[in-house]
Structure 1
Amino acid sequence: MGVLKEFKSFAMKGNVLDLAVAVIIGGAFGKIITSFVNDVLMPPIGLLLGNTDFSNLRVVIKEGSEAVMNGEQIVSPAVAEVAIKYGAFVNTVLDFLIVAFSIFLVVKAFNKMKKKEAAAPPPAPPAPSKEEVLLTEIRDILKEKK
């Protein structure tokens, strides 16, 4: 039971919960960015480049073929196309760049806030209490009398 308790202690730590929330939000953010790139950003770019749909851009290495049938008997099986899909790769690279830039902006803003906190002057020491002021005056008077 020691391992089970240790695991429960580990799983209930705040950092693990924060990490889980970050992963879930990051996954959702990734979907938003993918939709932004595929549905908002790439169509106008494709239009500017002559109605090009980037997701369909590819270099075919070997043409595919459908199965040839003779009734129920397969004469030659279907062969899948072999292609380098560089258009999908371009979309994925744009996804990555947008996510990386977004994270850069968040980290930059966070560092700027931390720098402001560090640069802020330390608070002034509190003013002495009435008793301390009175004792200081008494001390000064006693010094003068000597």
Structure 2
Amino acid sequence: MRWDVFTWAAVALLLFAAETMAPGAFMLWLGFAAVVVFLGTLLVPGIPLLAQVTAFVVLSFISIQVYRTWFRNREPQSDRPALNRRTAALVGRAVPLERAIVQGRGRVQIADAYWDVTGPELPAGTQVRIVGAEGMTLVVESLA
């Protein structure tokens, strides 16, 4: 077996193995480019090394662009996009103030968690709507 054919087969297998160890779809497409160069060197003997490497680089670029254009944006959208963004998931809820808002700061209880809030001066027990978030602090406004 010729060394260039063997080398491209090994490169393709190593790239596929790297993809399985650290999935992210990047090495997969480089592996596809290496497979094409492997097939080219297998079927057409005598291709210069510089041409093989150039073909690999060009095919890698093309295959990654194919992935970015057609496959990356076709991933299914989540039915719960705010799942890991807890404050965003709370926007729109109406809750009573647990502690009055004094000097712009207060507190609400949602389920078993207490959240700091900012908003207009309001007494404890007032129904407020969560309208936004700044970090881990909720922004509220009065429902009345």
TM more than 0.5:
no
**Quick one: higher RCO (CA 8 Å, sep 6+), 1 or 2?**
1
- Larger strand proportion of the pair: 2
Query: Structure 1-normalised TM-score?
Result: 0.28
- Larger helix proportion of the pair: 1
Q: Which has the larger radius of gyration?
A: 1
Query: Structure 2-normalised TM-score?
Result: 0.29
